[in-house]
Amino acid sequence: MARAATTSDAFNAIAEPRRRQILLFLADREYSVNEIVDGLRVDQPSVSKHLRVLRDTGLVRMRCSGRQKLYRTNAESIRPLHEWASEFERYWTHQLLRVKDRAEKKAASRAASSDSSSPKKEE
């Protein structure tokens, strides 16, 4: 088994820089494929393929309008990503606080004396 299929989940879908770019581009409103092509200066088949992946993972939605197809980001399907990030946020905050804490302690001890606070071998 090689890498998991891109089509299967949103995390894999946003692993590709160009797709993140497209997502950002589509963030504010609807765009046709050609507008994306012109806006990002990527060739059309490539854009279509990326849009396909984004659509399969549900990250964007498509609407037909004459011969054009209008794409936009899909809020609901993007939520799992957001929630995953949020799940970490708690820990991150803790860690950041700890980092801040440590920095303050260090500064304090540096101010009090010039004792070397036994730096741990961190890689």
43 binds, among a copy of itself, DNA, none (CB under 5 to 8 A by kind): DNA
- Complete DSSP assignment for 50-81: HHHHHHHTTSEEEEEETTEEEEEE-HHHHHHH
| Nearest approach, Cβ of residue 98 and DNA (Å) | 22
- Site string (63-102) toward a copy of itself, x via CB under 8 A: xx--------xxxx-xx-xx-xx-xxx-xx--xx--x---
| Amino acid sitting at position 43 | D
| Nearest approach, Cβ of residue 118 and DNA (Å) | 16
Distance CA 104, CA 95 (A): 14
Distances (CA, A) of 103 to 89, 95, 100, 113, 120: 21, 12, 5, 15, 15
| Amino acid sitting at position 55 | R
Structure tokens at 4: 């998991």
What part of residues 17-76 is at the interface with DNA (CB under 7 A)? 18-19, 32-34, 37, 43-53, 62, 64, 66-69
Q: Point out which residues bind a copy of itself (CB under 8 A).
A: 3-4, 9, 11-12, 14-17, 20, 23-24, 27-28, 55, 61-64, 73-76, 78-79, 81-82, 84-85, 87-89, 91-92, 95-96, 99, 120-123
